[in-house]
Structure 1
């Protein structure tokens, strides 16, 4: 991806999508970095987002992985939906914040392959908790 190209959707357009997505609002998703081919989103952890051991729930990690990949894909393809994703959980998600870093692996035609690495931030220490690979598809209207 060329760094000098503008994203297909603007930062404001992605934030508007977040604002009108009730689940994203409920979890507190925030767009921290948004460039063509790259995003970073975060979720402040709270008790309602954990499972019975107190770790970040897999559903929240899945949301973060899906969103990081989809928003990275949207930066090159515009309006998109997720076609599929695979998620590997590698460590318990324990911390004050969860962060998803999404990037483009390959963009071609209407399909964008993306990856996301997900981290738990605890006392300013960043620990990898999951990684995902997704196929994101441009919506044709």
Structure 2
């Protein structure tokens, strides 16, 4: 288990709402909801709107990518403090069609200079089973290293 930089799960959610969402124009516009940011794990939820889709009605790849990127960064931030993404790769498994996107990030290895994180993204609709739509891996860098 990876230790958290926050005092409690509730403190981590409050911080992410105040900083990672409210201060990020794109995340605020998307209205991303942090569900969990604790001990090297994150979960976030996005309610889809028509302006987030591409011409087939699926979630645009940039939106799916943002969910994976944020899941990685937020999981990394839970153990390393303020961070930026150094890079990530994503594989789209199938079209992301649904009412919501849910992403989960898990720290694979936290070091002093970088944190390696994996993310999975699912599309959800009503009572249907979630559909796994993307996997990603990111290198997350603490801001004192990135500066």
TM range (shorter): over 0.9
**Further displaced range: 16-25 or 127-136:** 16-25
What is aligned with 1:55? 58
1:129 aligns with 2:129: no
Larger helix percent: 2
**Further displaced range: 77-86 or 9-18:** 9-18
Given the two structures, how large is their TM-score scaled by the length of structure 1?
A: 0.93
1:119 is paired with a residue whose SS is strand
Query: What per-residue deviation string (whole Å, max 9, x for no partner) do you get for residues 73-126 of structure 1?
Result: 000000100000000000110111000001101111120000100000012321
- Whole-angstrom CA distance in 1 between matches of 2:35 and 2:92: 23
User: What is the total number of aligned residue pairs between the two structures?
Assistant: 138
What is aligned with 1:44? 47
- Whole-angstrom CA distance in 2 between matches of 1:8 and 1:139: 15
Larger strand percent: 1
Query: What per-residue deviation string (whole Å, max 9, x for no partner) do you get for residues 37-71 of structure 1?
Result: 10100100110000000000001011101000000
- Whole-angstrom CA distance in 1 between matches of 2:46 and 2:15: 19
Given the two structures, how large is their TM-score scaled by the length of structure 2?
A: 0.90
1:11 to 3, 13, 29: 13
What is aligned with 1:81? 84
What is aligned with 2:23? 20
Q: Which runs of 5+ in 1 are unaligned?
A: none
- Whole-angstrom CA distance in 1 between matches of 2:104 and 2:62: 17
1:97 aligns with 2:94: no
8 A Cα contact 2:13 2:35, kept in partner? no
Q: Which runs of 5+ in 2 are unaligned?
A: 7-11
